[in-house]
Amino acid sequence: MEFEIWMLLGIPFFFGLGWIAARVDINELVSESRSLPRGYFKGLNYLLNDQPDKAIDSFIEIVKLDPESADMHFALGNLFRRRGETERAIRVHQNLLARPDLPSEQKAHAQYELGMDYLKAGLLDRAEETFNLLVDTSYAVQARKALLEIYQREKEWRRAIDVAAGLQESGAGARQKEIAQFYCELAQDALVHLQPSDAMQLLDKALLADRSSVRATILTGDALLAQGDTEGALNTWRRVEHQSVPHVALVAARLMDGYRKVGRPQEGVNLLRAYLAEASSIDLIEVVFKAVIELDGVEAAKQLVIDELRRNPTLLGLDKLLEARLMDAPAHVWEELTMVKNLVQRYTQKLARYQCSHCGFKARQFYWQCPGCSRWETYPPRRTEELNVMN
């Protein structure tokens, strides 16, 4: 009981200590705030109210009154850049760099901001030169990330590989997928220039960086086919199933053409039908549909589409069924079916697109790198309508 009374008596004492500490902190805060120019608070208030133009005017006044204030220069330069006034941002950061009394840390900061100004303005050569000056400073990671963006824009894939590897070694996050994609870009270029052996070497490096790279596997099959090894290409493309079943749709046409080339088209159809049963896809249906018509006739193709529509009802699938119906439709219903198909097709054109999972950019064709946000491997290998049905 005595212990409890002592505790109760101690509460006001500790409360008083807390009150004194709080008063000291408040007094320090008030003292510091009084030393700041009034324009600083005006500018901050404008920023909070989403009025960047007025904020810039306030910060310009502060810089005129106190030209030694580096922080105000940084704030002003960043505001100019965000608003798209890159020339003014460049001048602000260049003026900062010209100051002989600028501490080394702030000098590196100004150098980085200047590089970002150049990057925003599209002056990639100047940006690259500026960021290269920072690789041995505290801004090394930020500079390398900016250099990586520049080399991707310029399609300097070998430089991009070196920078990405450097970032990974510095502990700035895993970059295996990006490195594999850069090697794939080089391999793709080698294949275009009819250099399949060079492409194979590059693709080996891509798979060494990322064993799960579907694109590297697909391109390895393309390189083997270019060297005349159709069986090797078929075996390689079939590995996609073990990496990612949905991506099988991307190699379906290659597989079917390969099996035709080696004289085993029925084996190809059976394989693709098995894939279709495992992971329905309108792109896969398209390839199987044409092959079934060729080998088994229109009725078998109709049944294929009907079965898929029951399992996965989509307008894209309905469009394919109407196409099959029109192939042997009687003359008196052909015109009506054509009208219905045209109407359905008009809607499906909006649905038959791939969509980036990061920025939402839609495209008619599949991309490994999103044209909208430039991120890698953000496109699911299914059309938007299929994804909506699945969700």
Q: How many residues does the chain have?
A: 391
**Strand blocks (E) in the chain:** 354-355, 362-363
Angle at which helix 214-226 crosses helix 230-237, to 10 degrees, equals 170
User: What Å distances lie between residue 45 and 38, 59, 133, CA to CA?
Assistant: 11, 12, 36
φ and ψ of 268, to 5 deg: -65, -45
The terminus-to-terminus CA distance of the chain in angstroms comes to 63
Q: What angle do CA 382, 345, 328 make, to 5 degrees?
A: 105
Q: Who's near 245: CB < 8 A, 6+ residues apart? A: 275, 278, 279
Is 59:75 a contact under the CB 8 Å cutoff? yes
Q: Is 370 annotated as a binding residue?
A: yes
Is 268:259 a contact under the CB 8 Å cutoff? yes
Is 42:72 a contact under the CB 8 Å cutoff? no
CA distance 306 to 308: 5
Structure token digits, residue 371? 């044209």
Q: Is 184 annotated as a binding residue?
A: no
Q: Please give the annotated binding residues, written as ranges.
A: 356, 359, 370, 373
Q: Please give the annotated binding residues for Fe cation, written as ranges.
A: 356, 359, 370, 373
